[in-house]
Amino acid sequence: MKFSLKDRLRYRFERYLNKGGASIFVSLFAVFMVLFIVIVGVRLLIVYFADPGLDPDYNGTSDDVWRTWLQMTDPGNMNQDNKMSIWLKVSTILAGIVGVIILSMLIAFITTSLEKVLYNFRKGRGVVIEDEHTLILGWNERVVDIIRELIIANESEKEACVVILSAEDKELMDDLIAKRLPDSKTTRIITTTGDYANINELKRVNTKEAKSVILLANCSESAPLETKIASDVQSVKSIMGIMSIQEGDNQIPIITEIFTEEKRQLIEFFENEHIIALDSWDIMGKLLVQTSLTSGLEMVYNEMLSFDGCEVYFYKADWSGVTFGELPYHFKDGIPLGLYNDQDGMRLRPEADYSLSDQDEVIILAEDDSTIHFETSKEIRPSSLKLINKRLGQSQRKVLILGWHNVAEIYIREAADYLSDGSKFDILFKEPDENLKNKINEIEKGYPDFKINLTNADPLKLGTLMKQDPFEYDNIIILSQSIEEQMPDKIDSDTLIILLWLRKIKKSIEQSKTKIITQVLNSENQEIITQTDVDDFIISNKLITMILAQLSEEPRIKMLYDDLFSEDGSEIYVKPVNLYIDQFPVVLKFADIIGLVAQRDEVCLGFRKGSQQKNSNANFGVRLNLPKTESIILEEEDYLVVLSEDEL
């Protein structure tokens, strides 16, 4: 096909303009200069051939050039030719009209370009010149809690930085962070808008120099499967982008939320120890089971996982052959949980007679890394106490589940390792669809030793709850009242209504040992929830965000979480103190309690005062890592917080 010269010129001109703003500006300026030269030429021809009447102040050709320039750039200068002839005024009018048109186009272009520049500034589109920063990719309801934890973690640093790259509007991110976190202390928080799966955007936030990366899911667990798969795909693409920036050799800790097992397996193909994919709701299901067995576990984890309290550290020293059983008494601050070395990996609760080598690092619960110091001689010597070694048996439980969430399926699966055959699960849900009915049927077939019933009923109504006799159950677990994805505050509002109804029903009952356990999504609702006499609550987002934040600071802690949240590993329990001693009240030093618990191959982390279980100001009675010389009055309703193989 043949094209005319006109078509070819037009095509080339379009391609030139498509190069961007600079080409448009150059084109407009070139047109302006060409027209300026043409009009000057016309003016000079008029002066030369038409012999017009000239202004007495006229100074020749240079005056024509200057006057034309002034008239084109500012039409107000056309009055300079008032005394010129009519022919010369024609060129003056032409200069004014052309100048108005071309300059208006130039001014409009400059204004638009400036607005674009300012828009990009407001949207955070500039290059982020930071290093050793914590990079958060994505945005969801956990962001604020993650930043809050990082601010606490960075308090000991003179200057720290958190950079957030997400598809959210920068102004919205800045406003929410300023509202929820008015004091960021020593941490600078930088937000920027962009596609965090795009390699150029990752380069723009200097990902290669980041200290760690927290990669958030862009939907909630309540989202449809297709949405969750899309979120996982986005996360995998982002990981590949981060690796590509480092030429395939990733050295940056990447902590990510992945919903589907398939995508977690895909990430394992990278064979990179720095990439950690969390199944957050599997962890929550495990915590629900443990919390339903013994009260106070949420407070224990809240203390351990937060930077604002006791934390887990890796500590190395010249051990001088000390055994693990003697190790706790060589620390003024700190409770050893286990050991780590490159050859054997991590071991929680090793044998008491294990002699530490120079390669061993101690996994220790302490107030701060600055307070950990190994003393070659014992700080305190515990008293020798006799252990009664009473054991709990697996119990048969009746559990009432109000609402439904995928975490409930994980809860039932995990409960199979803790509860005896014949345990009953009654599920109340308003107008369950066929998908939920089929899901419950599958669970029933998978766990034939449990009795699992689904009832079409609305837990938000008082009559429904009263008809169910909720306080005849051992545990009441409150979950989301809708299968569809909802905002955390809406779910928490439904939870609060149910809690208020349960409190009303409980007033008419003389005595009940029923535990009420609820899932709180928004950590800011914690104080409201505690006013309802709930026995335990799991602040889902807060616990998971604390895990994400801790892993970004120390990725090796993932090994500890894997053990704590697995079926076969060591776990944390809040056990009745009458399993260890049988005379009450008794006054013991904390070091004595550590030695007593060690006789059961357990590690004592602290205790829970039974009389303060409802006191939020006293952390619901939970205290961890007490001074080893502190004397404690133990009563029969008290509990010990221990690291143990099982709950028995």
> How many residues are present in the chain?
648
Residue 479 inside a domain? The answer is: yes
Closest CA to 360 of 338, 376, 335: 338
Kindly indicate the confidence band of residue 593, based on its pLDDT and cuts at 50, 70 and 90.
very high
Taken in order 313, 319, 324, 326, the sign of the CA dihedral is: negative
pLDDT tens digits, one per residue of 101-126 = 887 887 887 777 777 766 666 666 67
Query: What is the predicted pLDDT for the residue at 623?
Result: 92
Helix, strand and coil content of the chain, in percent to the nearest 5, comes to 45, 20, 35
Closest CA to 62 of 75, 48, 44, 38: 44
Per-residue tokens: 391: 């054991």
Name the residue type at position 32.
F
Domain termination residue (choose one: 488, 520, 541): 541
| Least confident stretch, 120-124, 320-324, 488-492 | 120-124
Name the residue type at position 462.
L
Q: How far apart are CA 17 and CA 257, in angstroms?
A: 44
Judge if 415 and 456 occupy the same domain: yes
Kindly indicate the confidence band of residue 406, based on its pLDDT and cuts at 50, 70 and 90.
confident
The dihedrals phi and psi of 592, each to the nearest 5 degrees, come to -65, -40
Residue 313 inside a domain? The answer is: no
- Residue 368: alpha-carbon gap to chain centroid: 23
Query: What is the predicted pLDDT for the residue at 538?
Result: 60
Based on its alpha-carbon atoms, the radius of gyration of the chain, rounded to whole angstroms, reads 36
Q: How far apart are CA 152 and CA 160, in angstroms?
A: 11
pTM summary value: 0.74
Rounded mean pLDDT, 310-335: 92
Kindly indicate the confidence band of residue 530, based on its pLDDT and cuts at 50, 70 and 90.
low
Between CA 31 and CA 39, with CA 33 as vertex, the angle to 5 degrees is 100
Domain termination residue (choose one: 278, 299, 318): 278
Residue 562 inside a domain? The answer is: no
| Least confident stretch, 260-269, 525-534, 561-570, 602-611 | 525-534
Domain termination residue (choose one: 492, 523, 541): 541
pLDDT above 90 (res 279): no
The dihedrals phi and psi of 305, each to the nearest 5 degrees, come to -85, -20
pLDDT above 90 (res 329): yes
pLDDT above 70 (res 626): yes
pLDDT tens digits, one per residue of 162-205 = 999 999 988 889 889 999 898 999 999 999 988 999 999 999 99
pLDDT above 80 (res 485): no
Mean pLDDT, the chain, whole residue set: 84
Residue 506 inside a domain? The answer is: yes
Judge if 25 and 105 occupy the same domain: yes
Kindly indicate the confidence band of residue 527, based on its pLDDT and cuts at 50, 70 and 90.
low
Residue 321 inside a domain? The answer is: no
Judge if 269 and 183 occupy the same domain: yes
Judge if 102 and 180 occupy the same domain: no
Any idea what DSSP says for residue 469?
-
Judge if 106 and 143 occupy the same domain: no
Residue 596 inside a domain? The answer is: no
Q: Is 126 exposed, middle or buried (0-12, 13-18, 19+ CB in 10 A)?
A: exposed
pLDDT above 70 (res 62): yes
Judge if 98 and 143 occupy the same domain: no
Per-residue tokens: 493: 């509002």
- By residue range, what is the domain housing residue 405? 398-541
Rounded mean pLDDT, 621-639: 92
DSSP letters of 205-272? TTGGG-SEEEE--SS-TTS-HHHHHHHHHHHHHHHHHHHHHTTT---S-EEEE---HHHHHHHHTT--
Rounded mean pLDDT, 367-389: 85
Judge if 198 and 268 occupy the same domain: yes
Closest CA to 600 of 582, 626, 578, 579: 579
Rounded mean pLDDT, 87-107: 80
| Least confident stretch, 103-117, 140-154, 337-351, 589-603 | 103-117
| Least confident stretch, 87-96, 245-254, 337-346, 427-436 | 87-96
Rounded mean pLDDT, 3-31: 68
Residue 304 inside a domain? The answer is: no
Task: Give me the CATH number covering residue 21.
Answer: 1.10.287
Rounded mean pLDDT, 344-356: 92
For 251-360, list the strands marked E by DSSP. 254-257, 275-278, 311-315, 335-341, 345-348
Query: What is the predicted pLDDT for the residue at 429?
Result: 93
Q: Taking a C-beta distance cutoff of 8 angstroms, is the pair 285, 566 a contact?
A: no
| Least confident stretch, 78-92, 224-238, 348-362 | 78-92
Residue 340 or residue 408, greater confidence: 340
> What percent of the chain shows pLDDT beyond 70?
89
Query: What is the predicted pLDDT for the residue at 553?
Result: 86
Judge if 189 and 105 occupy the same domain: no
Query: What is the predicted pLDDT for the residue at 58?
Result: 64
Judge if 26 and 101 occupy the same domain: yes
Residue 610 inside a domain? The answer is: no
Closest CA to 532 of 517, 546, 544, 547: 517
Residue 78 or residue 147, greater confidence: 147
CA distances from 179 to 10, 172, 439 (A): 53, 11, 41
Query: What is the predicted pLDDT for the residue at 15?
Result: 63
Q: How far apart are CA 438 and CA 447, in angstroms?
A: 14
pLDDT tens digits, one per residue of 203-227 = 999 999 999 999 998 887 777 788 8
Judge if 227 and 142 occupy the same domain: yes
Judge if 177 and 252 occupy the same domain: yes
> How many folded domains does the chain comprise?
3
Q: How far apart are CA 509 and CA 533, in angstroms?
A: 14
**CB neighbours of 558 closer than 8 A, spacing ≥ 6?**
276, 551
CA distances from 119 to 107, 109, 116, 547, 573 (A): 18, 15, 5, 36, 53
pLDDT above 90 (res 310): no
Residue 241 or residue 418, greater confidence: 241
Task: Give me the CATH number covering residue 466.
Answer: 3.40.50.720
Kindly indicate the confidence band of residue 135, based on its pLDDT and cuts at 50, 70 and 90.
very high
Kindly indicate the confidence band of residue 335, based on its pLDDT and cuts at 50, 70 and 90.
very high
> What percent of the chain shows pLDDT beyond 90?
31
pLDDT tens digits, one per residue of 452-470 = 999 999 999 999 999 999 9
Judge if 496 and 521 occupy the same domain: yes
Q: How far apart are CA 88 and CA 73, in angstroms?
A: 18
Q: How far apart are CA 571 and CA 550, in angstroms?
A: 19
The β-bridge relationship of strands 515-520 and 475-478 is parallel
pLDDT tens digits, one per residue of 613-623 = 877 778 888 99
Between CA 39 and CA 45, with CA 43 as vertex, the angle to 5 degrees is 115
Q: How far apart are CA 414 and CA 328, in angstroms?
A: 32
Exposure letters 133-167 (e unless 16+ CB within 10 A, then b): bbbbbbbbbbbbbbbbbbbbbbeeeeebbbbbbbe
Q: Taking a C-beta distance cutoff of 8 angstroms, is the pair 532, 498 a contact?
A: no
pLDDT above 90 (res 254): yes
